[in-house]
Structure 1
Amino acid sequence: MSASAQAELSKRFIVKYPSANQMSTLSEQGFNVQAEQQRLLQQQGIEYQRSMMMADYHVITVSADNEQQLQQRIDEISNSNAVVSIEEDRMMRAFFTPNDPRYADQWHYFDQQAGINLPAAWQQATGDGVTVAVLDTGYLPHEDLMANILPGYDMISDEFVSVDGDGRDGDATDPGDFMAKGECGDDYPPQDYPSSWHGTHVAGTVAAVTDNGVGVAGVAFNAKVVPVRVLGKCGGYTSDIADGIVWAAGGTVEGIPANRHPAQVINMSLGGGGACGDITQQAINFARSKGTTVVVAAGNSQSNADNFTPGNCDGVINVAANNINAGTAWYSNTGTTVDVTAPGGEWSIVNDPNGVLSTDNAGEQGAEADAYLTKQGTSMAAPHVAGVAALMYEKKPDITPDELEQALMDTTKAMTDNCVGCGTGIVDADAALSSLDDDPVGEPGSVTENITNGFYATWSTTVTVPAGMSALEVAVDKTQFFALGRGELTVSHSNGSSCTADITYSKGSCSIGAPAEGEWTVTFKAIGWNSNLKMIASWK
């Protein structure tokens, strides 16, 4: 067992013993308090540490081989008349406050109602070792971002859309997406639009360099960003976006070098009206098969989010936006496909402080000086969630996309306007991370199945064992008085754990200590004829 695993199964507690008056009363009732206290302290896994300055309070350590055993020992102490109370001797830490000068303007991180509760979450994780792919307009080498950028790719195949004139290549920097009035067709855009530097803003929310005395902070500031450029002038094609999803997750895209840094999280602050297309769904399915969580902005049309893709695709975390008052942002799409909400801000004026502040650029068309600007939109909300997802992957690297989504949804904060269609509420980063500590411990149980009669037959089944069990026993026995059975019983798990037993006279069993959670395969190979046998599996 590793040192870290051992630490998880050893906890310090503060116990309160009965006062002198309480001990006297118990003694009159025939109960020897001191003898019982000594008995508890002599139990395996219980160690006395010291007395405290407050009378009758003491510190002990409780250790165990697994979570269930640990809880059993705690329960024994708690239920004893020799102990008045028991509480965990929890480790406290100073809250981390970044020294970035504009952090104080990032209300969306720390505001009690409208923010995502980041300061407390940073005590648990900062995104170390996690990669987030940002599928967007690319990135700029901003001084407050560049240290967290990994090599990405420009997936835009159309030279007009790409602006840089060279199609797909390994340069994901953003040349700008300035649009002149009407140049995209169908009278779009209705007026000249300056370059958005959208991808740089989104990436800064995910992982701006933090505590460097410069600019702003990022949600998962020790994570790395793989920029995948899929949006350019006038937007981006579905085919390029689908290829970008597959490549970001570590898949193969013809003619393109492999991504050397497959992402655990993909952020897509993009979309359009319509149903989820087959190619987009297939790309998302591929990413999920690689264990990658896909986060999507719900859209800014003040409409039904169910009608906007890729937010309405299966298996994504669809994110609506809230304002600084913890209500629904006026522009945000809402609907049944929305899973959670995160700060997207609201503008009354350009660069309104009630927007979301992140890394940006001052250029109207081409890139100029680094800047720190606010924007509003579900595009700003989604990277908050992608960043929190990165924190969760650091804390629990084997978490599945479904588990991560459920943890986010189960731990949200209420919205002030009781929004219907904003998912379960505003993401709470600290609560989501803390929920990963609550490893479920299943209930003891058993299952019985009849073994098929046969001659030199091999019979097999699976048994699902819940988490936290201390033992699994599998037996073969008779279903009635007259039975025939001789052969070999094997019980195995995909992690390599197994046991075997010789079955003679229609009986036999084998057992596994501290069995892994999940499916165990039970196989009985008969020697000769077998009949009237059953398999009994029990776990506790």
Structure 2
Amino acid sequence: MHKTRALRPLLSALALAALSSATFAGSADPASAPPELPTDRLIVKYRSEASSTVLARAKDAATRRGHRLELLRRGGLGTHVMRLERHLPLADMRQLAREIAATDANVEYAEPDRILQAMATPNDTQYGQQWHYYEARGGINLPAAWDLTNGSGVTVAVIDTGYRPHADLAANIVGGYDMIKDTGGSNDGNARDTDARDPGDYATYGQCGLFSPSHNSSWHGTHVAGTIAAVTNNGNGVSGIAYGAKVVPVRVLGACGGYTSDIADGIIWASGGSVSGSPANPNPARVINMSLGGSGSCDSTSQNAINSARSRGTVVVVAAGNSNANASGFSPASCSGVIAVAATNRNGGRASYSNYGAIVSVAAPGGDTASGSANGILSTLNSGTRGPGNDNYAYYQGTSMAAPHVAGVAALVLSRNPSLTPDQVASILKSTARAFPATCSQCGTGIVDAYAAVVAAGGGTTPPPTNTVAEIESNNTGSTAQLVREGYTVTGSISSSSDVDYYRVNINPGSTLGVRLTPVSTANYDVYIYNSAGTQLASSTLGTGQVDSTSVRNNGTTVATYYVRVRYVSGTTGSGGTYSLALD
């Protein structure tokens, strides 16, 4: 019988990425940028008391853009709150505000009356190290999705090595089953039973075949389950993607991996099907995660089990494999009806180990500890080398880590719309995935986008967030530089010939900051990049209307802070002196 193994990650010690101290001041903000909601209001502050004639100028500016503007009320700071007849995108409202300010010297400032919302940022102490959730370049856009759902009402089966009752996970574990029939490799001394706890998947020399090497326990299932549904907002440890969901652990992998027959039974049982000799699963799973695999195309037993699960409405998510090869040569990644997941690194490109190919559906963060342990995926684990030890956390890498990101997002989608079929869930995940910011050939349709997927499932009425932010004055010096995430585009303006705009960006080790400055056709603006000591590293100084682009690479071993300066040379300023600054 064919044996399947956990897709073993490379282990690394728990570590924090050291942030470089910027001479210009400031530090990285780990919070994800929330979606910008349309608004129907403007705030206008006049230098002196505004008369009806002065207010008419603001109304005229709105009329020229085809809108009706009226005074709603006076604000507590001496401002005038103005209302349009309908909501407009923030970019349009900012443009209207600029035009109002440009046509009236008495306007001290004008700006959109933005609509803000509570943001679901967890208080878990190590959430800041889970870059794979919130970073604009390599993350899955998760915080915005949490404002809509946390996965409650959905059960996810983790078919793996079992689980440890980790303090940051146990509350979200329900039921479970040990499906390993062979006591020789089970390491728990018995065959199938209702105890899915992981005794360790260690093996001694020669245990798994002639001259087979020994290995320590991986606690693989515990790490996978933590990514899906670690207890969240408990002021401790890490966060889970679908932390309102429940996990049913199904133990199928022991010291030497697991038999296809056991895994197939696990698939059927987890999805609510009947397995001879085993009690019915009281918690049927809407999502199954299998971070396991072996070489060879999909076999009939695995395919039939997957078909059985899908017939009961269960979404099956599998890891594509860690062999840097075409996933068509691996099972169960090559089975029909599954969502096969490739792995990306922190820069959003294909992880060096990840399998690829036409059968891959989407990609998700799998990490790359070769560039630093903190560039891996942090989740729940156990300190024991053979048998169980203490609860701990560790960074792993692998498509084993990528798959549970997708399984967790699938749980969020189903929590928002339980009526969706497996094919509909797969279609949503693939159609809403965001474009790769780095090379990831044959990695599916993109990096899974939690917020966009939830919205597409019926999770909200607001449009998905875009990676665009507006310039915030005053940012005329390095010490007041506006913090912008890598992967975002700034919409800014040059108000006068003396106006200078500074932005600061934190770049990971080994990553390249690319800068592209697009001015209006009637302006000539130049762009420069400096390090934290103020030394100029790169620049682009092309002529009027031309796009300036330049880049700099962080060759260090820690996060580096760079400063991007936009300088006026000639041409248009004021309300028409706009530019787009892409930081990628």
Matched residue, 2:365: 343
* Aligned residue runs from structure 1 range 95-244, under 5 A: 95-188=119-212, 191-244=213-266
Matched residue, 1:433: 454
1:357 corresponds to 2:382: no
Deviation, 1:161, is 2.0
1:56 & 1:143 partners in 2: Cα distance?
52
2:221 & 2:149 partners in 1: Cα distance?
24
Unaligned runs of 5+ in 1: 1-11, 25-32, 35-49, 62-88, 441-540
CA separation of 1:58/1:178 partners in 2, compared to 1, >3 Å: closer, same or farther?
same
Deviates more, 1:405-414 or 1:245-254: 405-414
1:138 & 1:280 partners in 2: Cα distance?
20
1:309 & 1:374 partners in 2: Cα distance?
25
CA separation of 1:167/1:22 partners in 2, compared to 1, >3 Å: closer, same or farther?
closer
Q: Say whether the 8 Å CA contact 1:249–1:262 is kept in structure 2.
A: yes
1:420 corresponds to 2:441: yes
2:41 & 2:217 partners in 1: Cα distance?
62
1:403-437 Cα deviation digits (max 9, x unpaired): 11111111222223332210011111111112223
* Aligned residue runs from structure 1 range 493-508, under 5 A: none
Deviates more, 1:334-343 or 1:431-440: 431-440
Q: Say whether the 8 Å CA contact 1:52–1:59 is kept in structure 2.
A: no
**Which of 246, 267, 278 is the aligned partner of 2:300?**
278
* Aligned residue runs from structure 1 range 238-317, under 5 A: 238-317=260-339
Secondary structure in 2 matching 1:272: strand
Q: Say whether the 8 Å CA contact 2:124–2:239 is kept in structure 1.
A: yes
Q: Say whether the 8 Å CA contact 1:51–1:58 is kept in structure 2.
A: no
Secondary structure in 1 matching 2:261: helix
**Which of 346, 352, 355 is the aligned partner of 1:333?**
355
2:283 & 2:307 partners in 1: Cα distance?
19
The code of the aligned residue for 1:279 comes to: T
CA separation of 1:314/1:59 partners in 2, compared to 1, >3 Å: closer, same or farther?
same
* Aligned residue runs from structure 1 range 367-378, under 5 A: 367-378=388-399
2:276 & 2:402 partners in 1: Cα distance?
33
1:184-219 Cα deviation digits (max 9, x unpaired): 11543xx32110000000000000001101111111
Deviation, 1:23, is 11
1:317 & 1:266 partners in 2: Cα distance?
10
Matched residue, 1:512: none
1:323 & 1:317 partners in 2: Cα distance?
19
Matched residue, 2:407: 386
Q: Say whether the 8 Å CA contact 1:52–1:58 is kept in structure 2.
A: no
Choose between structure 1 and 2 for higher RCO, CA contacts under 8 A separated by at least 6 residues. 2
Q: Say whether the 8 Å CA contact 1:358–1:374 is kept in structure 2.
A: yes
1:432 & 1:52 partners in 2: Cα distance?
39
2:274 & 2:217 partners in 1: Cα distance?
31
2:59 & 2:333 partners in 1: Cα distance?
64
Q: Say whether the 8 Å CA contact 2:148–2:459 is kept in structure 1.
A: no
TM-score after normalising by structure 2: 0.61
Secondary structure in 1 matching 2:156: strand
1:113-149 Cα deviation digits (max 9, x unpaired): 1011111111111111110000000000100000000
The code of the aligned residue for 1:96 comes to: A
1:334 & 1:416 partners in 2: Cα distance?
17
The code of the aligned residue for 2:185 comes to: V
**Which of 376, 393, 397 is the aligned partner of 2:418?**
397
1:160 & 1:93 partners in 2: Cα distance?
55
The code of the aligned residue for 1:102 comes to: Q
1:279-325 Cα deviation digits (max 9, x unpaired): 11111111111111000000011111111110111110000101111
Matched residue, 2:577: none
2:81 & 2:252 partners in 1: Cα distance?
66
Matched residue, 1:318: 340
1:21 & 1:111 partners in 2: Cα distance?
42
Deviation, 1:394, is 0.8
1:407 corresponds to 2:431: no
1:304 & 1:139 partners in 2: Cα distance?
30
2:436 & 2:315 partners in 1: Cα distance?
25
CA separation of 1:345/1:22 partners in 2, compared to 1, >3 Å: closer, same or farther?
closer
Deviation, 1:59, is 6.5
Deviates more, 1:383-392 or 1:282-291: 282-291
1:333-352 Cα deviation digits (max 9, x unpaired): 11111111111111228x81
Matched residue, 2:566: none
* Identical positions, percent: 56
Count of aligned pairs: 380
Task: Tell me how large the CA RMSD over aligned residues is.
Answer: 3.1
CA separation of 1:434/1:22 partners in 2, compared to 1, >3 Å: closer, same or farther?
same
Deviation, 1:399, is 1.1
Secondary structure in 1 matching 2:197: coil
2:415 & 2:451 partners in 1: Cα distance?
13
Deviation, 1:273, is 0.8
TM-score after normalising by structure 1: 0.66
1:223-280 Cα deviation digits (max 9, x unpaired): 1000000111110000111111111111111111110010110000001111111111
The code of the aligned residue for 2:308 comes to: F
Unaligned runs of 5+ in 2: 1-37, 43-54, 61-66, 75-79, 88-112, 462-584
1:237 & 1:212 partners in 2: Cα distance?
38
Q: Say whether the 8 Å CA contact 1:127–1:223 is kept in structure 2.
A: yes
1:417-474 Cα deviation digits (max 9, x unpaired): 332210011111111112223999xxxxxxxxxxxxxxxxxxxxxxxxxxxxxxxxxx
The code of the aligned residue for 1:104 comes to: G
1:325 & 1:51 partners in 2: Cα distance?
46
1:130 & 1:55 partners in 2: Cα distance?
44
Secondary structure in 1 matching 2:343: strand
1:162 & 1:114 partners in 2: Cα distance?
37
The code of the aligned residue for 1:408 comes to: L
Q: Say whether the 8 Å CA contact 1:207–1:223 is kept in structure 2.
A: yes
Q: Say whether the 8 Å CA contact 1:208–1:359 is kept in structure 2.
A: yes
CA separation of 1:436/1:180 partners in 2, compared to 1, >3 Å: closer, same or farther?
same
Q: Say whether the 8 Å CA contact 1:13–1:59 is kept in structure 2.
A: no
